[in-house]
Structure 1
Amino acid sequence: MSKSRFTAMLAAMFGLVLAAPSPAPAAPLSVGFYLPWDDASEASLTAHAGALQVLSPMTAAITTPQGNIRWQPDPALAAVRGKSGRTKPEVFPIVSNAHDDVWDVAAAEAAMTDPAAFQAMADELLTKAAAEGYGGYVLDFENLTPKGLAAYAPFLARLHAVLKPAGRELWVTATMGQDPALIGGLAKSTDAVVLMAYDQCWATSTPGPIAGLDWLGQTLDSRLSVLDPAHVIVALGAYGYNWPQSGVAKVVSAGEAQALATLNHAVVVRGAADGNPHFSYSGGDGRLHQVWWLDAATYRAQRAAALLRHVRGVAIWRLGLEDPALWARGGPAPTPTPGPTPGACTMVPH
């Protein structure tokens, strides 16, 4: 008699109720954000799509108060999805209010508050998802007014109710600095919150870590105290900033940052608390420059910290800027280099 039949017979004899085995926890998602119009993004997508479960192109933008959506052509994605024998990740396009170098607050807030605009937007998203086989969407409405922020979660709940019966998920982005109560409301209205875990220091701030390890851990713990980790995607930075003295930083790729350090024979410093490699050099503009970036070692450490907190997945912002070594098997963590501890980031005075 088989073991399973013997166990069942004992259960029947003694009136035992056998609990069903618990399902194995789902493996964490690996998500890649990218820009369809950027050559470096396209190249990274083509090379590494098979290592990702979800691709999230910045494809859709709401452009009018009537709910019209502009779609960005994405030939690289079509090529990746069309290759036979390749892993075909789910596609969750970003739907933003960014177009023509502006954050279109009027268009976004009209979609939230005007029933006709909402319906036009929802119908377009449903139609496009069915035609392209999208798994869902990532909403990224930014620079909203207080009125818009108050309307955001109810709007997402209505959109979620439209998409869910069609088998499409709805995710929403949130910055680490946003009000936890607001993030909690966004989480209840969607299938997942994408926490943008970068820009501890930002382009118009004083130089410093883009995402320090200590900062990441402490901020994640704070946010996850009011969120279900299983509904959280942690988006990690994979880029750098080059700050000129008393100026606005320029975004640089990890490769460009390393090349600048080599060209200028700069000593690269890596603090234990932040993990971000950084250096300074004298630029051709006559000003001192400070460069901070997120390399493969920092990414691996941050990814491990996020997964230790049992989040649903980890995303890369963004493909094309990342350290190529990020895709290789991890090696030993680099040794911290002695250097001054950066202070808190503040806005650069003008």
Structure 2
Amino acid sequence: MSEKSLPKSPVFYDPRGRRWRHVRRTYLALGVIITALTAVFISSVLSNPLLPRFNLRPLQHLPRSSDIKPQPPAPLPNAREAKAKKAQAELQKAYEKVKRVPGRHAELLPVAPPPATTPLPAPASFNAKQLAIGFYIDWDESSYSSLERNLDHLDWVLPQWVRLVNAKPDERPIADELNDGQALKALNLIRSKRPQTSILPMVQNLNDEKWEADVLAREVGDENSRQKLINALSEFVEQNKFAGVCVDFEEATKDTQPNLLRFMQELYAAFKSRGWIVAQAVPFDGEGWNYRDFAAASDYLMLMAYDQHYANKDFGSVAAQNWFEDLLSRRMNELDPAKTIIILGNYGYNWTKGSEAKEVSFQQALIDARDSEAQIEFDSETRNPHYDYDEEDQKHHIVWFLDGVTAFNQMRAASGYHPAGFALWRLGSEEPSIWSVFGTDQSNPSPDALRRMVYGYEVDFEGTGELLQVQSSPHDGERGVNVDSKTGFIASEIYDNQKIPSSYVIERTGDHPGMIALTFDDGPDPSYTPALLDILKQENVPATFFVIGKHGQAEPDLLRRIINEGHEIGNHTFTHPNLGEIPAILT
């Protein structure tokens, strides 16, 4: 190659330096970018980033190699397990459809409102249907059971809800029971099931089962006290939209009688102006009672046609038919039948020598007769049933009582006077069969209906202890009834202890004085049950574990351990629902 062909300068020679300026800018940009990235990286490593919190259970142990091994497939359920699982699903599905009321104390439940217009029955006439009235008490569950079963028969309910109190001058002279759960339960039942039934609370001078004559004398002793009492009763009736009151002041002394009459006259005038009823319960044969004057001071005078013999008196008929007819004739000679109501007793007394007689319900009278193998006799003279028996302690018992037959004969004897109505003392103690002749639409009910005896309201517990077993379900009974074809009265009745009605009979066992049973409920629990079992094993103490099915299903090993260590297992159902809130088909 010749010298002429060689270049005069290097190929990449740049005498002006422009290429270097571009390269330097590029390096500078890259340096800035790398520095920024480095700063971001370092800050991200050193700072605590804000990450979302996960509610994860901390691991107690690090994972092991066995944890990642594939698990064997769950064994298929056998036919029995599959059937149980299907039944469980069906039960849960049905349970979810059941309308349930939250389990709350009755006193916390809202009070059912009264009807828009309080129905007040018109005074009875000779051609009108006679009033059917029931006395209700809170202290006996059977009274509520009777009210619930027989409410459709009743025109009035007279609950034992108001009493006089020994109040100071600036205090309310009455106390009422409407803050009591049982009273509210009954009130709600009446207003929701049969709101047309009139409610007339009883006003009594009864406190702790004693009639307080001194409190009564003070509350009606002067005009100011009487007016204060009337104002308190008016406020109570108005506030609760009741139909009126039934005054039941007993054991008034001779000196108190005139002031009591003044009180009734003033109360009647005050209530009449507001359309409220005043009824007064008076003794059938009360010494010193001016029946005519008291009848004029009320809408209805109610004759308590019972207690011929009673707790503090010698034994005998509670209301003999001849005694009833004789006194009724005397009373009706001075009273207006259209303003007179006859109260029929339906209960009994059990007398023992040397002690006060015990009041018994019709059902209890029959239970005692059956258990003592006593034969119930119908006394032809008094037409009241009775029997006697000896206890194991050699105490001799004499029992007289009233039943549906005595009520039928009494109503038949009174029907000729055309009274305004009949009342029953009391709901819960009566023979349930009485409702075939009492409070019916029939003007002349047949006595043949009383041959069938309906089972009662009380559960019959036999024995002692906390282990319960149903021995008998409710069943009706029967008796012989002989009717006098000439008079229409029932001449006699025949009880057979093998044919008397029975409610539930529950046997109670397990009572061992000096011994206790240790129980643990609603397990098994994976934390507490093992600890309990350890302690029981250490102390060599047996116990009973009442198991909830779904908990036991989840902890089968604990169930096996309970059994293997000598304990017993009891059943608290599968899900422990409130059995009172679900229908019988699911229980």
Matched, 1:69 2:174: yes
> Which residue is 1:3 aligned to?
none
Matched, 1:323 2:431: yes
> Which residue is 1:10 aligned to?
none
Contact 1:171 1:191 (8 Å CA) reproduced: yes
Alignment of 1:109-258 (within 5 A): 109-179=217-287, 182-258=290-366
Contact 1:50 1:88 (8 Å CA) reproduced: no
Q: Which whole-Å deviations, capped at 9, do the CAs of 1:33-75 have from their partners, x for residues lacking one?
A: 1212321111111111111101001110010254611001312
Task: Considering Cα pairs closer than 8 Å and 6+ residues apart, tell me whether 1 or 2 has the greater RCO.
Answer: 1
> Which residue is 1:26 aligned to?
128
> Which residue is 1:18 aligned to?
none
Q: CA deviation at 1:181?
A: 5.5
Q: Counterparts of 2:289 and 2:251 in 1: how far apart (Å)?
A: 18
Contact 1:63 1:104 (8 Å CA) reproduced: no
TM-score, structure 2 length as denominator?
0.51
Of 61-70 and 243-252, more deviation after overlay is shown by 61-70
Q: Counterparts of 1:112 and 1:192 in 2: how far apart (Å)?
A: 20
Q: Which whole-Å deviations, capped at 9, do the CAs of 1:223-250 have from their partners, x for residues lacking one?
A: 1111111111111101010111343210
Read off the aligned partner of 1:71 and give its amino acid letter: D
Alignment of 1:279-290 (within 5 A): 279-290=387-398
TM-score, structure 1 length as denominator?
0.84
Matched, 1:82 2:191: yes
Q: CA RMSD in A?
A: 2.0
Q: Which runs of 4+ in 1 moved over 4 A?
A: none
> Which residue is 1:336 aligned to?
492
Read off the aligned partner of 1:64 and give its amino acid letter: N
Q: Which whole-Å deviations, capped at 9, do the CAs of 1:5-52 have from their partners, x for residues lacking one?
A: xxxxxxxxxxxxxxxxxx873211111012123211111111111111
Q: SS at 1:184's partner residue?
A: helix
Q: CA deviation at 1:104?
A: 2.4
Q: SS at 1:144's partner residue?
A: coil
Identity %: 28
Q: Which whole-Å deviations, capped at 9, do the CAs of 1:296-335 have from their partners, x for residues lacking one?
A: 1111221222222211111100111001111235543445
Of 277-286 and 181-190, more deviation after overlay is shown by 181-190
> Which residue is 1:42 aligned to?
144
Contact 1:269 1:336 (8 Å CA) reproduced: no
Contact 1:46 1:76 (8 Å CA) reproduced: no
Q: SS at 2:427's partner residue?
A: coil
Q: SS at 1:203's partner residue?
A: coil
> Which residue is 1:278 aligned to?
386
Matched, 1:269 2:374: no
Read off the aligned partner of 2:152 and give its amino acid letter: G
- Select the structure of larger CA radius of gyration: 2
Gaps of 5+ in 1: 1-22, 339-350
> Which residue is 1:343 aligned to?
none
Contact 1:62 1:95 (8 Å CA) reproduced: yes
> Which residue is 2:153 aligned to?
51
Read off the aligned partner of 1:63 and give its amino acid letter: V
Q: Counterparts of 2:383 and 2:363 in 1: how far apart (Å)?
A: 17
Read off the aligned partner of 1:27 and give its amino acid letter: K
CA 1:295–1:126 in structure 2 vs 1: closer, same or farther (change >3 Å)?
same
Read off the aligned partner of 2:492 and give its amino acid letter: P
